[in-house]
C-alpha cells in the first residue's frame, strides 16, 4: 500500500525529477523510489553493516530472567493496586 509523503524540495530538484521521469518515460514516483533505493544500497555497501552485529546482545541484561519477571510483576501489581482504590 502506498502512503503519502510530503516534503519541501528545492525547485531545481523538482524540475530534475520531472525531466528525468519524462526522459525515462516513467512516473516521478518511480524516479524517486528508484533513487532512494539506489542511495540506500550505496550507503549499505559503504558501511558493510550487518544487522546481527548491530543488534546482537541488546537483549542481554545484567539481571537474571527471574529478576526481570519479578520486576515486571511488581510494577504491574503496584499499578493495579493504585488504580483499584
Predicted local distance difference test score (pLDDT) of residue 82: 78
Predicted local distance difference test score (pLDDT) of residue 6: 93
Predicted local distance difference test score (pLDDT) of residue 58: 59
Q: Find the Cα–Cα–Cα–Cα dihedral 64, 70, 72, 76, rounded to 10°.
A: 180
In whole angstroms, give the CA distance from residue 53 to residue 44: 14
Nearest Cα residue to 70 out of 61, 83, 59: 61
pLDDT tens-digit readout, 54-73: 666 656 778 888 898 999 99
In whole angstroms, give the CA distance from residue 38 to residue 63: 43
Specify whether the backbone of 6 is left (phi greater than 0), alpha (psi in -120 to 50) or beta. Answer: beta
The structural domains of the chain, with segments of one domain joined by +, span: 11-84
Predicted local distance difference test score (pLDDT) of residue 81: 83
Q: Which residues of the chain have pLDDT under 70?
A: 48-59, 84-85
Q: How many C-beta neighbours within 10 Å does residue 32 have? A: 16
Amino acid at each position: 500500500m502506498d502512503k503519502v509523503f510530503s516534503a519541501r524540495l528545492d525547485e531545481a530538484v523538482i524540475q530534475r525529477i520531472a525531466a528525468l521521469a519524462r526522459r525515462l518515460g516513467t512516473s516521478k514516483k518511480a524516479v524517486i523510489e528508484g533513487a532512494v533505493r539506489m542511495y540506500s544500497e550505496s550507503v549499505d555497501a559503504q558501511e558493510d553493516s550487518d544487522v546481527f552485529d548491530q543488534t546482537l546482545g541488546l537483549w542481554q541484561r545484567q539481571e537474571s530472567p527471574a529478576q526481570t519477571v519479578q520486576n515486571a510483576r511488581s510494577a504491574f501489581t503496584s499499578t493495579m493496586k493504585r488504580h483499584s482504590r
